[in-house]
Amino acid sequence: MTSTVRLNWSELLDEYRRLNPCSDEMSARASAVLPGGTTRTTTFFQPFPPTLVSGAGCVVLDVDGNQRVDFLNNYTSLIFGHAHKKLTAAATGAAESGSAFASPTEHEILLAEVLCNRVESLDKVRFTNSGTEATMAALRLARAFTGRSGVVRFAGSYHGTHDYTTTPGAGVPSEVDALVLTARFNDLGSVAEIFQTARQVIAAVIVEPVLGAGGVIPAEPRFLEGLRELTADHGALLIFDEVISFRLHPGGAQARYEVTPDLTTLGKIIGGGFPIGAFGGRDDVMALLDPDTGVISWGGTFNGNPVSAAAGVAALTELTEDVIEGLNASGETLVESVNDALRDDRVPVHLTGVGSLFNIHTTSDSITDGSAAMIVDHELLAAVHIGLMNRGFFLAPRGLGSISTPMTQLEVRGLADSIVDLATALLVAR
């Protein structure tokens, strides 16, 4: 499919403003009480994000009455889309008995049992309120277990918003920054070099089996296998951040890759659309959290919240192997169809992806690590994003998207055709 229609950034912005006057007003109102008009920096884009009022299935509705197919799914957390009846019923039923307690509930126990039975690396698990909290807790646990302070992460990775995963950055103490060592994703040699010079200080290597914010880049199998060997050889822990990648297999990406980490962090889909996070792993490591030992005290007013836990149990019950296979097939079809169409036209746009996860990149270069994913045509990416918003598709400004169960081939094909059409139209205009 090749477009002959000329499009430019200015025209796309004008159309976006025309379609979203009420969201424009709401953004101005929000900016008076929220920095930049938002609570989440990741949701902001120019000129303003739409103000949403509801969602049903795979469609979201904004204050201007625009309906968009939601391929973002609250950054991949809504694998069953919006307002799924069984998940909503589970959460409502739990809430009617009380929304929070200062003591365990059976909902918390049930979800822990489901996760430990499903994920091979989980002997025991603890709950948090988000993936950010989960990675923060896992890193603290690794430092306590090893008696070391250093952390190896990868360029382009995202493990939440806290000091040990956002470095370097404003507000991060230089003392913390010095303890966070950055390697290159899919480059085992860069990790080996770090261990050669800093093996005595490295407590853990934390890695996403699939870089999420870094561009939906899957790890090469030998890379993860090598990390397993390196950490074991040097007495460091291997942490898999599966907050995003857990959706790829009933046992998480670690089951897909057949590599077992020491600790695993989870979030997003395990809460059925409600706030949640979890971290867990080997018995001997998790034992440091046992209140009888007193080694690490870890609390949180809403950890193990019964509403989120009940929705999570319902979600994981529904998320069977067949469901996951269907989602993965749809995602792979999307990536293949777009890349096949644009390869012939030599358009500097292509998709990366694995299973039901994908990302739009505005470059013709192959992308295998997070650093490469940043070298794109950002103006073109912004134009493609706004163009898709104008055509009724909701994705992240950086091009991230995911497939949810309410989607049919009609929605998937519609997105594929729109990406191809926009990419070629914008190229013609240059």
| Residues carrying CATH 3.90.1150.10, the chain | 9-79+320-429
User: Dihedral (C-alpha) 411, 417, 420, 424: value to the nearest 10 degrees?
Assistant: -140
Q: What pLDDT is stored for residue 428 in this prediction?
A: 65
* Among the ranges given (78-82, 162-166, 267-271, 411-415), the one the predictor scored with the smallest mean pLDDT: 162-166
Q: Which of 158, 187, 262, 369 is catalytic?
A: 158
Cα distance between residue 346 and residue 155, in whole Å: 28
158 given a catalytic annotation? yes
* Residue of 241, 262, 369, 421 marked catalytic: 241
Degrees (nearest 5) of the Cα angle 350, 395, 9? 70
Under CATH, to which class is 85-318 assigned? alpha beta
Mean pLDDT of all residues in 364-384: 85
CB burial class (10 A; 0-12, 13-18, 19+) of residue 242? buried
Statement: residue 133 has pLDDT above 80: yes
Q: Is 164 a catalytic residue?
A: no
d(CA 156, CA 372): 9
Could you tell me the pLDDT band of residue 368, with boundaries at 50, 70 and 90?
confident
Q: How confident is the model at residue 373 (pLDDT cuts 50, 70, 90)?
A: confident
Per the prediction, the chain carries an average pLDDT of 94
- The CATH classification number of 9-79+320-429 equals 3.90.1150.10
Known catalytic residue at 344: no
Average pLDDT for residues 43-62, to the nearest whole number? 97
- Tell me the C-alpha distance between 427 and 195, whole Å: 45
Interval 72-93 mean pLDDT: 98
Query: What b/e sequence results for 401-415 when a residue is b if at least 16 CB atoms lie within 10 Å of its CB, and e otherwise?
Result: bbbbbbbeeebbebb
Q: Where in the chain is the domain with CATH 3.40.640.10?
A: 85-318
- Average pLDDT on 345-371 reads 90
Give residue 3's pLDDT. 44
Distance CA 265, CA 135 (A): 6
Q: Which of 70, 164, 268, 369 is catalytic?
A: 268
Confidence of residue 429 (pLDDT cuts 50, 70, 90): low
For the stretch 289-319, pLDDT in tens is 999 987 898 899 999 999 999 999 999 999 9
Which of 78, 73, 83 minimizes the C-alpha distance to 415?
A: 73
The 10s digit of each residue's pLDDT in 210-256 is 999 899 999 999 999 999 999 999 999 999 999 999 999 999 999 99
- Mean pLDDT value of segment 261-280: 98
Task: State the average pLDDT over residues 50-78.
Answer: 98
What DSSP character marks residue 249?
S
Please, is 95 exposed, middle or buried when counting C-beta atoms within 10 Å of its C-beta (0-12, 13-18, 19+)? middle
Whether 4 has a pLDDT exceeding 60, the answer reads: no
Share of the chain above pLDDT 70, in %: 97
Q: What phi and psi values does residue 220 have, to the nearest 5 degrees?
A: -75, 135
Q: Is the pTM above the cut of 0.75?
A: yes
What pLDDT, on a 0 to 100 scale, did the predictor assign at position 316? Answer: 98
pLDDT confidence of 102, banded at 50, 70, 90? very high
Tens of pLDDT, residue by residue over 163-215, are: 887 767 788 888 888 899 999 999 999 999 999 999 899 999 999 999 998 99
pLDDT of residue 6: 57
More confident residue, 360 or 165: 360
Q: Which two tokens stand for residue 209?
A: 């089996």
